[in-house]
Structure 1
């Protein structure tokens, strides 16, 4: 009974995460890879994120580390308590697990990045910040 409840909650959390991401106008996420890690209880998730000019994602966290490589345009990451970091194509950023941050495209052309997450398995990839 306990296992069924945990699985149901995990699936509902993943569905809510997908719905929240899908509801952000001007932001699209394409899942590229999801694979169990050799580290027990962890998985690697890779996505392509495309952000229209002037659009972005509100403050959120991830249940693990994030590495983002910008493949086109400009993306700005705004971690709570720190100065914003503006990245152009060819640049990367590391965001530690649990860091509250927002992101946006401050440019005039579409921006895109490849984000790789090393996260706790079974948790939603993105959680809105409180």
Structure 2
């Protein structure tokens, strides 16, 4: 009888524990949000007799997103292909570049950039950067 009582008690505890567990909301991982910045490299070539390389690519920024102050380890050339590009180089007035406009940035110039409005922006970029350094370096 004691054995049967223990068995019944164990089954009840297991069922109640399972019921309590079933009543808790399952833990769902939060959905992965797309990054507000998408960089698509299209090509890279070494600059002969130097410690530099040329990186050609497309940078896409989500609408309303501002990247934060940063620099690049070399000069760059850019051409806006979609949207309006908001641009602020330290010590200069902010600028907005529209589709078909291009601009350049000197080596290591600290700047902020992003979409000028709620629509995304796409820019073709040619980086001339020191080999082995990241394309983007956060500003201090």
1:35 aligned residue:
45
Does structure 2 conserve the Cα–Cα contact (< 8 Å) formed by 1:25 and 1:55?
Answer: no
Spell out structure 1 runs of 4+ moving beyond 4 A. none
Aligned-pair CA distance for 1:39: 4.3
Which of 104, 107, 112 aligns to 1:94? It is 104
Q: How far apart in 1 are the matches of 2:138 and 2:34? A: 12
2:113 aligned residue:
103
For normalisation by structure 2, the TM-score amounts to 0.72
Aligned-pair CA distance for 1:37: 1.1
For normalisation by structure 1, the TM-score amounts to 0.77
Is 1:53 aligned with 2:85? no
Aligned-pair CA distance for 1:123: 1.1
Q: Can you give the 5+ residue segments of structure 1 that lack an aligned partner in the other structure?
A: 1-22
2:94 aligned residue:
84
Number of residue equivalences:
108
Does structure 1 conserve the Cα–Cα contact (< 8 Å) formed by 2:89 and 2:111?
Answer: yes
RCO higher in 1 or 2 (8 Å CA, sep ≥ 6)?
1
Larger Rg: 2
Q: Can you give the 5+ residue segments of structure 2 that lack an aligned partner in the other structure?
A: 1-32
2:75 aligned residue:
65
Between Structure 1 and Structure 2, the one with more strand by share is: 1
